[in-house]
Amino acid sequence: MKLLVTGANGNLAGAVIENLRAILPDRKFLAVGTRNTDSAYARQLAAAGITVRHLDFMNAGSVTAALAGIDRMLMISTYDPNDIRIQQHRTAIDAAVKAGVHHVIYTSCINADPASAFEHNSQVHAPTEAMIKASGLQYTFLRHNLYTEFLLMDLKETLTSGQLQRGGGGARIAFIGRDDLGVSAARVLAGDGHGNVIYTETGPEALSYTEAAAIMSEVFERPIKYVELTAQQWYQRSMGMGYPEPVARASMSNVIAASKGEFSTVSRDYEKITGRSARSVRQLLLDNKARYLKVYAA
């Protein structure tokens, strides 16, 4: 059984790959795809005996070639404006069919529905899931809730100002850590019994941003309070954090979806896959405090 992980240089893919390296009996069964096969991480993987293939979702030929001989693919949703992402996903699905891939595992999002207020759901995840189903490929949809890392991407400013600035008001979100999602994705990709299944992956509790700020205060040992932003204010802040403009504009819908409770579901699907609950926000921050301070607050 030959497995492939797309987007190998990305953070989620890295977490998946490291878990696969630990559980696969032989690394010859693992391949990874990336646009940049010459990155330091790609070279490290190649040196460890993992096949590194050039795979660019903007180039259909490269995707088909990269998927040659692959039985299962973990298709990690791309990070581009939504109109481009859906084209990239169509390219990947068509290439998977052409290459004879049997099973596609797709990293989707909680509440991936055409009626979702979250544009990433209505414009990307819901139609991508529909395309995969229509292709005849066996599928597994890993519907992730918002990453715990969403709380940390401006950690330096949060710690300096004492303000966690986010949108969504008092709505609750069942955050889940990307590292934990790397465990479950690896288990699904390398395991059996997940065909034509949809998993909703969440943390063990749904927190308000006020509660999340209190936990961050405790872990990072400095006062942090939640400051609510409107959708427009979140757009401006996203731009300030370096989001591409189309991505920042689409992310405004995150605020609306959060306020409607679209991220509040707590599911035990993660436990079904891994045999344990995902870590709480508090535990994930405690486990990774030094690393998060180095990466996000440097």
CATH of the domain at 18: 3.40.50.720
| pLDDT computed for residue 25 by the predictor | 84
Question: Cα angle at 5 between 88 and 113, to 5 degrees?
Answer: 50
Is residue 252 assigned to a domain? no
Provide the residue-wise pLDDT of the chain in tens; the chain has 298 residues: 899 999 999 999 999 999 999 999 888 899 999 999 999 999 999 999 999 999 999 999 999 999 999 999 999 998 889 999 999 999 999 999 999 999 999 999 999 999 999 999 999 999 999 999 999 999 999 999 999 999 999 999 999 999 999 999 899 999 999 999 999 999 999 999 999 999 999 999 999 999 999 999 999 999 999 999 999 999 999 998 888 898 888 889 999 999 999 999 999 999 999 999 999 999 999 999 999 999 998 8
Is residue 296 assigned to a domain? no
Is residue 9 assigned to a domain? yes
Tally of structural domains, the chain: 1
Is residue 125 assigned to a domain? yes
Which residues, in sequence order, are bridge partners of residue 108? 143
Distances in whole angstroms, Cα of residue 16 to Cα of each of 32, 53, 168, 178, 292? 11, 17, 30, 9, 19
Scanning the structure block, which residue is given the tokens 């590292």? 179
In angstroms, the CA 270 to CA 90 distance is: 27
Is residue 117 assigned to a domain? yes
Q: Extract the tokens encoding 269.
A: 């699907």
| pLDDT computed for residue 298 by the predictor | 83
Query: For residue 281, with 0-12 CB atoms within 10 Å meaning exposed, 13-18 middle and 19 or more buried, which class applies?
Result: buried
Range of the domain at 77: 3-148+175-203+265-279
| pLDDT computed for residue 246 by the predictor | 86
Contacts of 192 (CB under 8 A, 6+ apart): none
Question: Cα angle at 179 between 65 and 54, to 5 degrees?
Answer: 15
Q: At what angle do helices 11-23 and 178-190 cross, to 10 degrees?
A: 50
Determine phi and psi for 52, rounding to 5 degrees.
-110, 120
Is residue 297 assigned to a domain? no
